[in-house]
Amino acid sequence: DAGVIQSPRHEVTEMGQEVTLRCKPISGHDYLFWYRQTMMRGLELLIYFNNNVPIDDSGMPEDRFSAKMPNASFSTLKIQPSEPRDSAVYFCASSLAGTNNEQFFGPGTRLTVL
C-alpha cells in the first residue's frame, strides 16, 4: 500500500481565497483524522471520521473550516475564506479501527496564506 496520500504537498494562497486539502486514507482503514500542526499550538486534532461519518469536530477552529468524507477512500478539508493565521502543516491520518489503534500519517500539506 502507498500509505496515506495527501495533496497538494504545498499550497500558497492569498487571504480570502478558498483552500481545499485532499486525503486518501489507507485502503481498509475505518478511521480518518485531520490534524493541524503549528509551532505555537503543536499538533491539534481538528476532526475525525469513522466509516465516513464525522465523530468529533470539536477541534475545528471556526465555521470557515469544513471537512467531508464522501466515501471510504477520499476526504477533503476546506478553508473558506482563508486567513494568514491558518498557515500551518495539515496532516491526514488513518487507522484500521479507533481507540488503541496505530494511526498512519500522511506527509502533510504545508499551507501558507499571505
Partner 1 sequence: LAKTTQPISMDSYEGQEVNITCSHNNIATNDYITWYQQFPSQGPRFIIQGYKTKVTNEVASLFIPADRKSSTLSLPRVSLSDTAVYYCLVGDRDSGTYKYIFGTGTRLKVLA
Residues binding partner 1 (CB under 8 A): 4, 33, 35, 42-45, 48, 55-56, 58, 91, 93, 98-100, 102-108
Query: What phi and psi, each to the nearest 5 degrees, are found at residue 3?
Result: 85, -175
State the CB neighbour count (10 A cutoff) for residue 105: 15
Nearer to partner 1, 82 or 94 (CB): 94
SS3 6: strand
Nearer to partner 1, 33 or 65 (CB): 33
Nearer to partner 1, 96 or 114 (CB): 96
